[in-house]
Structure 1
Amino acid sequence: MTAVYPSLTRRPLSDGWQVRAARGPAEVPGSAVPATVPGVIHLDLLAAGLIPDPYLDDNESRLAWIGLVDWSYETTFDVSAAQLAASDRHEIVFEGVDTVATISLNGRVLAEVANQHRQWRLDVTDILAEGANTLAVDFRSPIRYANEQSVILGSRERPYPLPYEAIRKSACSFGWDWGISTATSGIWRPVRLESWSAARLDRVLVRAEPDGSGGLVRVDADLVRASAGALTLAVSVAGVERTVEIAEGDDAVSLTVELEHAERWWPAGHGEQPLYDVDIELRAGTDPIDSASRKVGFRSLRWDTEPDEAGAPFQLVVNDRPIFVKGVNWIPDDAFPTRVDRDRYRRRLEQAKAANVNLIRVWGGGIYEADDFFELSDELGLLTWQDFLFACAAYPEEEPLRGEIEAEARDNVARIAHHASLVLLTGNNENLWGFEDWGWNERLDGKTWGAHYYYELLPKTIAEIAPHVPYAPGSPFSPGMGWDGEAQTGPHPNAETHGTMHLWEQWNRLDWSTYRNHRPRFVAEFGWQGPPAWSTLTRSISDAPLTPESPGMIVHQKAIDGNAKLTGGLVPHYRKPEDMETWHWAMQLNQADAVLCALEWFRSHAPYTAGAVVWQLNDCWPVTSWAAIDGDGREKPLLFALRKAFAPRAVSVQPSGDGLVVALTNETAEAWSGDVVLRRVGFDGTVAASVSVPASIDAWSTVRVDVPAELAETDAAVALTAEALGQRGVWWFDEPRDSALQDPSLSATVTRAGDDAFDVAITAGALARDITLLVDKIAPDAAVDRGLVTLLPGETGVFRVSGIRELAVEQILRAEVTRTANQLVVGR
């Protein structure tokens, strides 16, 4: 008689959880309250009405005790005799535990865990009982544990007080210069019971690559067996199925599926993103006993780092086409990441794509992002770059961290390596630079700091599991760097002429116009601060009066000397306003101006400069920060600056020696030729001089066109406009604060464009600089599709306002709603 094997079953264990304070300075009753899994303790206490919202006012400090408490989670689930007997093996799988915990079933300890960033699979075959089973996860205070480990491992260099380098937990959960300190605990990713017989799939690696006009899909699968016996692995792609027999005793198998025709996957802006389902089935005889699935895209990929006469580039090449990287840095989209579901990922990533972004860098102080993040990036054509989780600190290389770091690297590389969007894995954020320039070497005095991870362990792990995924030891990083056991060798890690660099001197010490003093090969971090949207600010801070320095504002400003840097960065361009709403607008506008200046400059030097990644796209709570989208998901003017600078066809005017040039960027498949129309314009719209310069530009390229000397003279002109490619670039001869900008005399019409959308046409009576509609002041859910629009006298710009049921001209033309740069000059 032929044996019949059941398929592996997966039973979620998400119901019936309760949590209570076990030990420590809890300021809540000791009785258990309902708990959500996946979730974290802050959200459970908030749902139970035991704590206020951590994001409001100074509740962060009021709730600091939570991270000092040990918390106990527990649930009970039933298993029938038939369920026990139906399978040979039973395992409980935790996809993520945050962070230090003892896991028990029916009073027996299954594991002691201390790593937020890895999966745990625990055999409970001999412990699972018929009837009720009690699963408990007892957490230790992450703050106390990290402090204990820092004593054992020895102190290391870091920028913040709590020793986040001594615990494998999201570094920014202890606070950052944009982030709230939560130090939370919880079962933060799903947990389930898996039951199976004969065998199950363990690690499944899938790699897709183009092959002529077709494609190859290679599957490497590791198995875990409960019994001997021949098995079959079947793989199906695009209607093509291949099978391979697995002999008794073998626990690894490989199989390749060949497709005669496979469409190429392209980054956003360069083509389509076709994805192919890869269905994998493990069979015992004819019985399917386990399965897995992946989606893949076919594209070739490399980073060109070959030395040239200037240094070494960092040029992304996809399907043999050089790609200018238009990137943004990504932090966890919520300080409690369990609240970020697929819909929220989609909203945020679609906002990025709408701003013409083509790459998202997942920063190394957060988390390895969820499957939803990478799947949606594949669909949208957004390239992804995932840092390994090391940020701005020296990390011990001793146990237990050493083994945990290898385990988490293996888990996460295997999980994400098949994604078409994944173009780079990076060893750390700023640690190579810190060791070189921030005095770490001397203060460490021979202690380990992470070099083994960045130069040995991580590249070795990638070479074994995902050799098709490029790797860089750090960001910033210069190709040719290495480690000889005592010192880093090769170029400086933040060299302007080699690889990737971070530019932070502008925000910290210099005016943003000095971005133009640099000609980097690739900028992986730079940015400027600005406050969140007005509705976000006033929802989260109840100060009366609300001022830039009122108590709640300071709580929601985490950067060292942040407000002083905001003011210092504003006054070279605008005078500091006295009222709060105008201060808010001035700082948002200056943030956008700073980043726009940098991006247009960097892009004008393509392909020598091969990319720019702005710090940062998103926020994790309501805060004054470098983000383009605030903690409530509202778009700041900075996002409009990204959209303009990253447009497929873009025009900007740049300084060059003693003169000016027009930079034309054509990131489309069609070449362009025509006239660059140059006009020297006065405040009243008068054209003081005009000339047309013939130009042409190939597809996917950038050219620079000299501005005739007589057009670069200021005379009575306020600006030089350059029109080509259907776009306009503007060069302002004076800073706004030194100019004679007038009241723009705006008028408007409002036309309904849908149940909750309106087209707002704004006409300028005089030159209007950087028109931006802060429509959340009319209705908190309202949004607008464009901003930072400059109109010459008599010109009209149309703005689509959505998320609002009724809209009147009088509402739009309120001075605090329709903002311009003129408002920061007129009357001063």
Structure 2
Amino acid sequence: MKKLLLNENWRMRVCGEAEWLPARVPCSLISVLLEQKRTQDPYWRCNEEQTLALCRNDCEFCRTVTLDASFLQQRAVELVCEGLDTLAEIFVNGTLLAKTSDMHRTYRLNCKSLLHAGKNELHILFHSPVEYIENYHPAEGRESKIVPSGSMAGGHYLRKAQSMFGWDWGIQLPDMGIWRDIWLEAHDEPRLEGVELLQEHTENAVKLTVNVQTEQAGGQAGDLLMTSFFAPDGALLEQWQAAWQPETQFRFLVQSPQLWWPNGYGEHPLYRVEVTLLRGGEEQDRRSYSIGLRTLTVLHEPDEWGKSFAVCVNGLKIFTRGANYIPEDAIYPNIAPAKQQFLIETALKENMDCLRLWGGGYFPSDAFYEMCDRAGLMVWQDLLFACDTFELTPEFEENIIAETRDNVCRLRHHACLLLWCGNNEIESAWSHWGDFQAEPATLRADYIKIFEYILPRTVREFDKQTFYWASSPSSGGCICDPDAETDGDVHYWDVWHGRKPFTDYRKYKFRFCSEFGFQAFPSMKTICAFTKPQDRNIFSKVMESHQKNGSANGTILSYLSENFRYPGTLEGLVYLSQVLQGMAIKYGVEHWRRQRGQCMGSLFWQLNDNWPVVSWAAVDYLHRYKALHYMAAHFYVPVACSLLRDGTKVAAYVQNETAAAGHYQAKLRLRGLDGTLLDETIVTGEAAPYSALSLGEKDFAPLLSGRVEQVIAEIAFSGDGLQDTLEAEPFVPYKHLELKKVAIQKQIQPVSGGWQITLNADGVAPFVWLDLADGDGEFSDNCFLLNGQESKTVQLKTAGLSLPEGSTAEQQLTVTCLQDTYL
């Protein structure tokens, strides 16, 4: 096989303009214009509007391809396009080769008859997706008025990432271009078309079946297929050869296998399978797959509470801990492995074991899933449909079957792959969302056909071993009470959209909560990166243009008014919004972890952003951590401790998500705001593996008379496998606490890998936040309590540290606590 990569030496122009601009794949209209300084940063101030106007243009990409005669003497020559976004016409030497209409598909186009030795011209014309959706006319009786929050009307008419048309956290930037590799492939021999890897687990052994499919044309006597199986350390375990056939099966038996486990439950060893096509002893084609030996599914079965939704790995039901993941950038050519690696490492630092890849985005690169395999991060993979109606035309059906086949076959072998989910929230919408109830019945019927027949049938055809779930949330399909508390998974948004208090989470014992969230402003330094000084008011035009959830800045203020005093500066407001966000998600996660067994997972919304915006993300677009990131590292830790206050009663809980029983101690304390310890009761208990335990509670009512606004409840936890943990909560809202200004002393000294910072306060200092005035760095912990008596030591890590030239970490370090926001 001969492969000629065509990523270099492209030219791009806006149709109708004379100037051609140099380009390199991956590239798009907007990425090229930005690189060549022909347009302004779409993320700066209100530039979204002018960028959207650019997307009304058609554009074209051209390059010359020089071929020698030997390349064209091969039996077959194909143009392979891994990503064309979206409405493309492909011309070879002036002749139309194909039209495409699905950015999620890989197109293999036979083009031999259009090529010749010497110079060839490849020309790809992209039509504006904006003009297409605005001029598309659905069939009579299938007209839809649904427009997802923050999006553009009609985005669902194209097989294009829906969030490119905007979302309630996303910029409207429906770009176009060649967003993945493109190459010419020539071969005489039969090409390897697919490799299916099936595992059958028995006691202390795994039977691995390798089903190899090749093209039927081109095979010769003497052609061989060879399959090699390698251990995680790279050692060759077995190797088999067979005479070429269009379909060939190999079997391996692995005794005492090294099992793959999610993060926090064990190691993530990866075996390797290589399939090679040989002719005359020479390699003609090869596929290589890293695989984890494991069983991984979801148990949806009747139990004492209704019907479960529990991840089961290697026979163990686990409490899934994770977040929802959206596209890493709104300009897709800018999505690089380094961005993905940062976000995966962020998830690991937050002690996650699962990411839900949301259905309004895209299928990431192979590299992303390989990173998740190595990290032990399970992937809940939505198919690419979200919050909208879909008209089932013949072309639409052809596209969704093809894109599902392409991506299921590409991803099915990954150890990280947990499940395929048909869509995001569409079953729930058809069940009870008000605007959906006015939609045509024909579109409702199309929903059932797509998500309960066409897509599950396609998934099962190409992936026999991965769990399929029709929608999220769902109770199993058929538009039958998809939001049921006692069955399947739930999205819960009454906290935030419904403006319910954080304590509302505690009313529900969901089987699995796969979406819930709370917004916060990004870092003040990130805000400064997209604004001018005069823009820095949350109700300015610029700030509101970077808030896509309607009146959500007002929602933040509403929650702030319930919990904190009004801050005197924008910096204080940003800080308090992040504290609120962390508090909200912490309330939910801790409650559901205390219900382990009945509730078996939480995935908060969301891990990341695709541009600088006010959103639900734990880490902003410029990769600055919000307070939620640091709080998540505590509430998702395998052995998690929590304080539950009910009126004047305070209880200590431990959720042990490990294989070992542990002995734990909790000191239930009442502390004055000056740091004085007023009372302490010690309780202990033994937490079994994979269990939640109440260590005990104390009613502080007799001690609160006349000073409820002058004290806090505090619990100091210690025990097996547990770093000493301090949890605290007042008996009144923080805004009513009689907090005094405190002096925080800090000592900084260099240590291996960074700087060690030791902090002490002369009184209670809630939500202590460390930052660098003009730089960026990562702290080992942040947003914590100083109780006025005990010191706190954290590290500022050298890795990733950015400081202004000539300054030191000590000069740059800033320390903020709640009292510092008071007017």
Q: Same fold (TM over 0.5)?
A: yes
Q: Displacement of 1:42 after TM fit?
A: 0.3
Pair 1:453 & 2:437 matched = no
- Rounded to whole Å, the distance in 1 between the matches of 2:434 and 2:543 is 33
Residue 819 of structure 1: which of 780, 793, 816 is its match?
Answer: 816
Aligned residue for 2:177? Answer: 186
1:638 is matched with 628
Answer yes or no: is the 8 Å Cα contact 1:690–1:711 preserved in 2. no
Matches of 1:710 and 1:786, distance apart in 2: 30
Asked whether 1:531 is paired with 2:529, we answer: no
Asked whether the equivalents of residues 158 and 394 of structure 1 are also in contact (C-alpha less than 8 Å), the reply is: no
Q: Does 1:759 align with 2:752?
A: no
* 1:655 Cα deviation from its structure 2 partner: 4.1
Which residue of 2, 8, 25 corresponds with 1:9?
Answer: 2
The 1-side partners of 2:405 and 2:488 are apart by: 26
CA contact (8 A) 1:66 1:183 kept: no
AA paired with 2:100? Answer: V
* 1:255 CA displacement: 2.0
Which runs of structure 2 are paired with 1:331-730 in the superposition (5 Å)? 331-439=326-434, 442-449=437-444, 450-479=447-476, 481-482=477-478, 488-489=479-480, 492-509=481-498, 510-544=500-534, 546-655=536-645, 659-710=649-700, 714-715=704-705, 716=707, 717-725=711-719, 726-730=724-728
Instruction: Show the counterpart of 2:152.
Output: 161
Which of 230, 234, 238 is the aligned partner of 2:226? 234
Q: Which one of the candidate residues 742, 745, 759 is aligned to 1:744?
A: 742
Q: Counterpart of 1:783 in 2: which secondary structure? A: coil
- Tell me how far apart the structure 1 counterparts of residues 249 and 450 of structure 2 sit (CA, whole Å): 29
Q: Secondary structure at the match of 2:302?
A: coil
Quickly say closer, same or farther: Cα 1:639–1:123, change in 2 above 3 A.
same
Indicate the residue corresponding to 1:308 in structure 2.
303
Partner of 1:47: 35
Structure 2 contact 31–333 (Cα < 8 Å) conserved: no
Other-structure match for 2:269? 274
Select 1:317's aligned residue among 308, 312, 328.
Answer: 312
User: Could you tell me whether the CA contact under 8 Å between 1:665 and 1:701 is conserved in 2?
Assistant: yes
Distance in 2, Cα, partners of 1:417 & 1:674: 42
Residue 205, structure 1, aligned to residue 200, structure 2:
no
Contact 1:651/1:724 (<8 A) preserved: no
Q: Report deviation, 1:601.
A: 1.4
Measured against aligned partners, the alpha-carbon deviations of 1:608-649 in whole angstroms (never above 9, x if no partner) come to 111100100000111110001101111111101111111122
Q: Is residue 2:216 matched to residue 1:221?
A: no
User: Take 1:136 and 1:546, find their aligned partners in 2: how far apart are those partners?
Assistant: 45
Alignment CA distance shift 1:609-1:417 (3 Å): same
Q: How does 1:246-285 map to 2 (within 5 A)?
A: 246=243, 250-285=245-280
* Aligned counterparts of 1:713 and 1:69: Cα–Cα separation in 2: 71
DSSP-derived class of the 1:343 partner: helix
CA deviations on 1:772-828 (whole Å, 9 max, x unpaired) are 1122x331x33322111112113211222231454354543xxxx312123245xx5
Partners in 2 of 1:312 and 1:351 — Cα distance?
A: 33
Deviation for aligned residue 1:253: 2.4
1:90 alignment partner in structure 2: 77
**Which moved further from structure 2: 399-408 or 237-246?**
237-246
Residues 162 and 445 of structure 1: CA distance in aligned 2, closer, same or farther (over 3 Å): closer
Look up the match of 1:787.
Answer: 782
Q: Is the 8 A contact 2:520 2:581 kept in 1?
A: yes
**CA distance in 1 between partners of 2:732 and 2:646 (Å):** 17
CA contact (8 A) 2:297 2:419 kept: no
User: Match for 2:732 among 712, 731, 734?
Assistant: 734
What is the letter of the counterpart of residue 4 of structure 2? R
Query: In 1, Cα distance between the equivalents of 2:714 and 2:26?
Result: 56
Equivalent in 47, 55, 61 of residue 73 of structure 1: 61
Cα 1:328–1:442, aligned 2, differ >3 Å: closer, same or farther?
closer
What do you get for the CA RMSD once the two structures are aligned?
Answer: 2.0
In structure 2, how many angstroms separate the alpha carbons of the residues matched to 1:257 and 1:649? 38
* Farther-moved stretch of structure 1 (675-684 vs 275-284): 675-684
**Corresponding residue of 1:20:** 13
Distance (whole Å) between structure 1 residues aligned to residue 219 and residue 777 of structure 2 = 62
Residues of 2 paired with 1:280 and 1:225: CA distance?
A: 17
SS of equivalent to 1:379: helix
Could you say what secondary structure the match of 1:784 adopts?
coil
The amino acid that maps onto 2:688 is D
Matched with 2:127 is 140
649-658 vs 44-53, which moves further: 649-658
How far did residue 694 of structure 1 move?
2.6
User: Displacement of 1:724 after TM fit?
Assistant: 3.4
CA distance in 2, matches of 1:762, 1:544: 35
Residue type of the alignment partner of 1:65: A
- Aligned positions of 1:113-124 closer than 5 A: 113-124=100-111
Moved more, 621-630 or 280-289: 280-289
Give how far 1:730 is off: 2.2
Unmatched 5+ stretches in structure 2: 231-235
Residue number in structure 1 paired with 2:99: 112
Rate the CA distance shift 1:661–1:274 in 2: closer, same or farther, 3 A.
Answer: same
Does residue 164 of structure 2 align to residue 176 of structure 1?
no
- Partners of 1:739 and 1:657 lie apart in 2 by 16
What secondary structure does 1:572 align onto? helix
8 A Cα contact 1:650 1:727, kept in partner: no
User: How many Å separate the matches in 2 of 1:578 and 1:73?
Assistant: 52
Secondary structure of the 2:607 match is coil
Moved more, 131-140 or 435-444: 435-444
Q: Give 1:696 deviation, angstroms.
A: 0.7
Helix, strand or coil: the match of 2:152? coil
Aligned-pair identity (%): 29
| AA aligned opposite 1:464 | E
SS at match of 1:118: coil
State the alpha-carbon separation in 2 of the partners of residues 237 and 681 from structure 1: 61
Partner of 2:233: none
* Structure 2: distance between partners of 1:638 and 1:286: 57
Contact 1:325–1:610 (Cα < 8 Å) also in 2: yes
Compared with structure 1, are the counterparts of its residues 540 and 414 closer, same or farther at alpha carbon in structure 2 (3 Å cutoff)? same
Does structure 2 conserve the Cα–Cα contact (< 8 Å) formed by 1:543 and 1:551? no
**One-letter code of the match for 1:807?**
T
Q: Normalization by structure 1: what TM-score?
A: 0.93
CA, structure 1 residues 513+744, in 2 after alignment: closer, same or farther (shift >3 Å)?
farther
State the partner residue of 1:245.
Answer: 242
Q: Which moved more, 1:496-505 or 1:156-165?
A: 156-165
Please say if residues 648 and 731 of structure 2, whose CA atoms lie closer than 8 Å, have aligned partners that are also in contact.
Answer: no
The residue type paired with residue 662 of structure 2 is W
- Taking the aligned partners of 1:446 and 1:711, their CA distance within structure 2 comes to 58
Give the TM-score, by structure 2 length: 0.93
Of residues 224-233 and 331-340 in structure 1, the stretch that sits farther from structure 2 once superposed is 224-233
CA distance in 1, matches of 2:319, 2:306: 18
Is residue 2:35 matched to residue 1:35?
no
Structure 1 portions without partners, runs of 5+:
1-7, 24-28, 483-487
